[in-house]
Amino acid sequence: MGRTFHLCTITGIPLKAHWSFGLTLLFVAYVVHLHNLTVAASVGFILLVLAMFVCVILHELGHSIAARRYNIETLDIIISPIGGLARLQDIPEEPKKRNSCCPSWANCKCYDCNNCWMLPALHIGHKAYS
């Protein structure tokens, strides 16, 4: 997936950032400069962007934990400006296992419910810094 940089390891899974993740940092700096944000507004905007990427990481960890349940190793999690990717060692052939690790819209599993709290949490955080 191109050049990545190791950030940390979570539950034995390397968390990496794609090189293009740096573009997100440039975008944040551009928005802060363009809108002449106050220090408080700048901090709020930075926290909002970080919170969105924490949500992406938690979502990908959900895939990794589901895969671990079926003894499938997660090679790493890569975040980029357009989202995240949990790279699994193997994609299961058995449909029940595959749907649990890689859910479709029609077949969501319980671990994907971590998405349900993300929107309200981001909304509350946004309102707190607006």
- The total of structural domains in the chain comes to 1
Give the pLDDT confidence score for residue 79 in this predicted structure.
93
2 is a domain residue? no
127 is a domain residue? no
29 is a domain residue? yes
129 is a domain residue? no
Catalytic residue among 60, 73, 93, 94: 60
User: How far is CA 76 from each of CA 13, 16, 30, 127, rounded to the nearest angstrom?
Assistant: 6, 7, 30, 34
51 is a domain residue? yes
What 8-state DSSP symbol labels residue 94? S
4 is a domain residue? no
Give the pLDDT confidence score for residue 78 in this predicted structure.
94
47 is a domain residue? yes
In the annotation, is 93 catalytic?
Answer: no
Give the pLDDT confidence score for residue 117 in this predicted structure.
67
User: Range of 44's domain?
Assistant: 14-118
* Cβ pair 85, 59 in contact under 8 A: no
Give the pLDDT confidence score for residue 114 in this predicted structure.
62
**pLDDT of the chain along its 130 residues, tens only?**
579 999 999 989 999 999 998 899 899 999 998 999 889 888 888 888 888 888 889 888 888 888 888 888 899 999 999 889 889 888 767 666 555 555 543 334 544 566 666 667 767 766 766 6
6 is a domain residue? no
Give the pLDDT confidence score for residue 1 in this predicted structure.
58
- Residue type at position 90: D
Q: Return d(Cα 35, Cα 78) in angstroms, integer.
A: 30
